[in-house]
Structure 1
Amino acid sequence: MTTLGSASAEPGEAGFGRLDVGETRDGTTIGLPVAVINGADEGETLYVQAASDGDELNGVGVVNRVVPQLDPQELSGTVLVVGITNWHAFQVAEHRNPIDDTKMNRAYPGDANGSSSERVAHATFEAAQRADLVLDLHQGSTSRMLNEVRVRCGRRHRLHDECLELAKVFDCGHVLDQKGPDGQLARAAPDEGIPTIDPELGGAVGWDEESIEYGVRGVWNVLEHYGFVEGDAEPESQTRAKRFDRYGAPAGGIVNFEAELGDEVSAGDVLFRVTDVFGSLKAEVAARGDGVFWRSRRLPQVATGEYVCSVGTNIDTA
């Protein structure tokens, strides 16, 4: 029998339950929704989690679609799933845990006796450590962003090649291969010998069907490539960026973009213009170097110095 929290499943079965991570202010137990899909045949273990940032819902959409399709009788190995990781933030549709004002994906590997976020990170990290592969499903918060996968362990890490292979297998077409901040699950788990990636499934308010489908297909690619289910998914060439150039607004007003997500841009190409509310030009911003137009703000109004967009640079094919 395989268990995760109160979920348990014999070989060839699926089980659902809750993973206790603390209590609310009225003393009610907080239980993250979890699933165990225990294959009829032996194999590796895949850990999947979603919504470690409470307003990033596309990963929840992926879990919502994938789990019902998993037939434990046709599965080799085990899939462990935490459907909602940042419980407090999810309840109020916020990015950070409102109990301790913490971004959950900066709290790993966590602390069993720490803050609210550290306790959740500790409990979910324990689950992730049981796996051979980890998918930490994210999206670009409410920004507009390419569907991409992030390799966050750093290119000199001993597990870099395994993480990059996992990113290629997930196959969103774009990979950001840049060492991430301390406290990310995709930084902490490779240190324990577990290949881990952050699929960043677009950016939206609510659910974005196209990005959810990218994620569903990506999870199935992983299941097929690593032998959990029958299939022939193989890594294909990905456009890889090794860093970001960020651009802010030189003046306040309304942003008008000249580049679309995924466009290749060259140094000197105009990325966006800022006008006043009546359409008069106030500023024009061009690319500082070559790259791919990767991410942009969703709302058109900006203040001086406010974030506008990002260009992926140091581009090659992975």
Structure 2
Amino acid sequence: MSITLGDASAAPGETDTGRLRVGESRDGSPVRLPVCVVNGADDGETLYLQAVSDGDELNGLGVLTRVVPQLDPEELSGSVLIVGIVNAPAFQVAEHRNPIDDTKMNRAYPGDDEGTNSERIAAATFDAAKRADYVLDLHQGSTSRMLNEARVRCGRHHRLHRDCLELAKAFGTGHVLDQKGPDGQLARAAPDEGIPTIDPELGGCVGWDEESIQYGVEGVFNVLRHYGFLEGEVPMATQVRAAGFDQYRSPAGGLVHYRAELGEEVTRGDVLFEVTDAFGQLSGRVTADGDGIFWRSRRLPQVATGEYVCSVATGIDSF
């Protein structure tokens, strides 16, 4: 049986690309998101993938440009539905939020097909996601520097928590944030519909980063093999899990000099960063409040007093 998404339609053993209409722009021209359907030759489950929910987070799109050409529908059991660029208005102007309604798209789910521009896009893509058995919402840590991780956002008391953790472990970045996310995230809304969902956060950069993209490509194929879409076994390696973050801000204006590296274990009292003036004179020093892993940091060195600098993941264990 043929499978359609927007105007893409693929018979068993075929791949097709097309567009999903989600409304009109200010000049009345249609806004259409790029979509892809990979319909396996054999019956099976459905995986939904999407990228660029935030317009400046491009590593997920980089993943899709590599996954789709490698995905042979003749070897696939089941189907893969893909929305390549969710936040098309933000992508066009290289901004994080939808400039039409100043909304962060991943706070708009499950959406509203009669709502704001972002809510309508969320509703259309959520309809596609609800057709799936598993969902991967590909993100990155915006333009900050960040570890490659997968996020489980349903909350530890959710009925699908264990299933979402399994999906994160199968994806296999090595680091997992297991913390209930804000309302409006796809990884919050889809589990409420009974669909295991994670949002891999593939590093953080300006443009895209090849190392993080490769993590994502391997992660997608790990998921496809683990859940039987493709033949092959996936070693379920132990993951480092964090329960939350301590965020650190600058005590002074100036230039940041990091004393910890991404992925490094830190203990209470360790120096995380120092701030100097333009001539190297020390203006401030910040130490860790507790034990954890140096997880994320701002990219640009200049900071104002009170501006965000870095995050240390806390509540660390393994699973």
With structure 2 as the length reference, what TM-score do the two structures score? 0.99
Q: Could you tell me which residue of structure 2 aligns to residue 210 of structure 1?
A: 211
Deviation, structure 1 residue 302: 0.3
Q: Could you tell me which residue of structure 2 aligns to residue 91 of structure 1?
A: 92
Q: Could you tell me which residue of structure 2 aligns to residue 291 of structure 1?
A: 292
**Distance in structure 1 (CA, Å) of the matches to 2:305 and 2:13:** 58
Counterpart residue identity of residue 161, structure 2: H
Q: Could you tell me which residue of structure 2 aligns to residue 235 of structure 1?
A: 236
Q: Could you tell me which residue of structure 1 aligns to residue 281 of structure 2?
A: 280
Q: Could you tell me which residue of structure 2 aligns to residue 201 of structure 1?
A: 202
Q: Could you tell me which residue of structure 2 aligns to residue 9 of structure 1?
A: 10
**Distance in structure 1 (CA, Å) of the matches to 2:86 and 2:219:** 20
Counterpart residue identity of residue 72, structure 1: P
* RMSD of aligned residue pairs (Cα, Å): 0.4
Q: Could you tell me which residue of structure 1 aligns to residue 261 of structure 2?
A: 260
Name the SS of the counterpart of 1:110 in structure 2.
coil
Identity of aligned residues (%): 75
**Distance in structure 2 (CA, Å) of the matches to 1:169 and 1:268:** 35
Counterpart residue identity of residue 146, structure 2: M
Q: Could you tell me which residue of structure 2 aligns to residue 155 of structure 1?
A: 156
Deviation, structure 1 residue 137: 0.1
How does 1:68-83 map onto structure 2 within 5 Å? Answer: 68-83=69-84
**Distance in structure 2 (CA, Å) of the matches to 1:250 and 1:218:** 39
Deviation, structure 1 residue 234: 3.0
How does 1:130-149 map onto structure 2 within 5 Å? Answer: 130-149=131-150
**Distance in structure 2 (CA, Å) of the matches to 1:246 and 1:168:** 25
Deviation, structure 1 residue 231: 1.1
Q: Could you tell me which residue of structure 2 aligns to residue 51 of structure 1?
A: 52
- Provide, for residues 70-111 of structure 1, a one-character-per-residue CA deviation record: whole Å limited to 9, x for no partner: 111000000000000000000000000000000000000000
Q: Is the 8 A contact 1:129 1:192 kept in 2?
A: yes
Counterpart residue identity of residue 29, structure 2: T
**Distance in structure 2 (CA, Å) of the matches to 1:144 and 1:282:** 23
**Distance in structure 2 (CA, Å) of the matches to 1:232 and 1:212:** 22
**Distance in structure 1 (CA, Å) of the matches to 2:297 and 2:269:** 18
With structure 1 as the length reference, what TM-score do the two structures score? 1.00
Deviation, structure 1 residue 235: 1.8
Deviation, structure 1 residue 243: 0.6
**Distance in structure 1 (CA, Å) of the matches to 2:127 and 2:236:** 29
**Distance in structure 1 (CA, Å) of the matches to 2:280 and 2:255:** 8
**Distance in structure 2 (CA, Å) of the matches to 1:307 and 1:231:** 43
- Provide, for residues 166-195 of structure 1, a one-character-per-residue CA deviation record: whole Å limited to 9, x for no partner: 001101110000000000000000000000
- Provide, for residues 50-83 of structure 1, a one-character-per-residue CA deviation record: whole Å limited to 9, x for no partner: 0000000000000000001111100000000000
**Distance in structure 2 (CA, Å) of the matches to 1:103 and 1:17:** 25
Query: Structure 2: where are the runs of 5+ without partners?
Result: none
**Distance in structure 2 (CA, Å) of the matches to 1:64 and 1:93:** 18
